[in-house]
């Protein structure tokens, strides 16, 4: 989002707190909120986020950044209307390297963020994940599916942290009457992803741009569904502003195999890379496709950006980083 002059804020404009604001999704959310007239208090301890993602917002009226770990007590003087809880390592590289921090931000961090929402009488949105479904036995995955998760496997720290966060969020809604929203986010891609974060989109694009072998795990028959970031953030905003207090899937139901996606990346980058196969990691989901019936009905939302269009923008961003 370009850094352009903005009119001064008035007292009628809502105030939003965004945790994990310097991350991939958090920073895009901050851009959208500012564009729609919110004051934004951005919180991040920069463990996996990057100040570069929000550097273009320096000096903009109504934007404030706080370098803080959300597992610590959140004290803010301002009146707050919305709390958007996006803080968490979200890639395999990060949560495998930071398992305890991942569990703490999902539990203690969610508790602190919910406490802030309760104290301020603010509406709260949890950025949950499709990973709460684990390696699903139901396909596509509806919100009513409880999942197939290995709590002690290598992905358990992330999966269970998010499952706990959902339980905590619903408990605050029932016991303390906090207005809560839960977004179950499926694979999302776009500018500001880290090259080395271990997820399939940056991994494939960076390998292809360098003409290195594109690494596919297993036989590449596992499926994924990729949603462009602008579509996802629009869905997140619609959910927060809706009356829906139950979890809602947000993602692109267009499904393809990882091998198909690798070939598409090589084509889109005009790379000379070849595809190589490596053993499938433990508990890697075999299928991932959202049932977005609720999002369509309740939010009047579905993805609009075709994969080809989103990849052009994403590859352009990564080309400047490689």
Residue 10 pLDDT more than 60?
no
Percent of the chain with pLDDT over 90: 85
C-alpha 251/C-alpha 232 separation (Å) is 7
Q: Where are the domains of the chain?
A: 15-189+227-253+289-303
Please give the average per-residue pLDDT across 145-155, as a whole number: 93
Please give the average per-residue pLDDT across 104-133, as a whole number: 97
* Alpha-carbon 49 to chain mean position: 12
Please give the average per-residue pLDDT across 55-61, as a whole number: 95
Residue 219 pLDDT more than 50?
yes
Residue predicted with more confidence, 71 or 92: 71
Please give the average per-residue pLDDT across 251-277, as a whole number: 94
pLDDT tier for residue 308 given thresholds of 50, 70 and 90: very high
Number of other CB atoms surrounding residue 306 within 10 Å = 12
Return the CATH number of 15-189+227-253+289-303, one of 3.40.50.2300, 3.40.50.720, 3.40.50.1000, 3.30.70.940: 3.40.50.720
Please give the average per-residue pLDDT across 202-206, as a whole number: 93
Q: Position of tokens 């091998």? A: 259
Whole-number average pLDDT of the chain: 93
Number of other CB atoms surrounding residue 34 within 10 Å = 20
Tell how strand 227-228 and strand 123-129 pair up. unpaired
| pLDDT confidence of residue 3 | 43
Please give the average per-residue pLDDT across 10-19, as a whole number: 83
Please give the average per-residue pLDDT across 134-149, as a whole number: 94
Q: Which residues contact 147 (CB under 8 A, 6 or more apart)?
A: 132, 133, 134, 136, 159, 163
Helices (H), 129-252: 156-176, 200-209, 229-240
| pLDDT confidence of residue 12 | 66
Residue 104 pLDDT more than 80?
yes
Phi, psi angle pair for 229, to nearest 5°:
-60, -40
Residue 4 pLDDT more than 60?
no
158 is catalytic: yes
| pLDDT confidence of residue 287 | 84
Residue 91 pLDDT more than 90?
no
Token readout for 64 is: 């404030």
Q: Which of 158, 172, 189, 228 is catalytic?
A: 158
């Amino acid at each position: 989002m370009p850094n352009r002059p903005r009119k001064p804020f008035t007292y009628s404009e809502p105030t939003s707190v965004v945790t994990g604001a310097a991350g991939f999704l958090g920073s895009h959310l901050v851009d959208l909120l500012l564009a729609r007239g919110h004051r934004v208090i951005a919180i991040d301890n920069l463990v996996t986020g990057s100040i570069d993602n929000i550097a273009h917002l320096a000096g903009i009226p109504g934007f404030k950044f706080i370098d803080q770990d959300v597992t610590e007590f959140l004290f803010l003087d301002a009146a707050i209307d919305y709390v958007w809880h996006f803080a968490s390592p979200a890639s395999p590289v990060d949560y495998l390297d930071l398992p305890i921090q991942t569990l703490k931000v999902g539990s203690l961090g969610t508790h602190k963020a919910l406490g802030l929402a309760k104290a301020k009488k603010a509406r709260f949105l949890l950025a949950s994940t499709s990973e709460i479904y684990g390696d699903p036995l139901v396909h596509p995955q509806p919100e009513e599916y409880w999942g197939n998760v290995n709590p002690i496997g290598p992905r358990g720290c992330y999966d269970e942290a998010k499952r706990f966060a959902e339980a905590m969020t619903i408990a605050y809604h029932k016991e303390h009457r906090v207005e809560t929203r839960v977004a179950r986010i499926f694979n999302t891609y776009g500018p500001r992803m880290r090259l080395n974060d271990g997820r399939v989109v940056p991994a494939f694009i960076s390998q292809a741009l360098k003409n290195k072998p594109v690494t596919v795990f297993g036989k590449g028959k596992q499926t994924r569904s990729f949603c462009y970031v602008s579509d996802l953030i629009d869905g997140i905003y619609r959910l927060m502003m809706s009356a829906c207090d139950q979890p809602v899937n947000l993602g692109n139901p267009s499904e393809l195999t990882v091998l198909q996606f690798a070939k598409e990346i090589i084509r889109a980058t005009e790379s000379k890379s070849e595809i190589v196969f490596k053993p499938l990691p433990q508990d890697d989901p075999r299928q991932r496709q959202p049932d977005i019936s609720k999002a369509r009905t309740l939010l009047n939302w579905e993805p609009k950006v075709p994969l080809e269009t989103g990849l052009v923008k994403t590859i352009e961003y990564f080309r400047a980083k490689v």
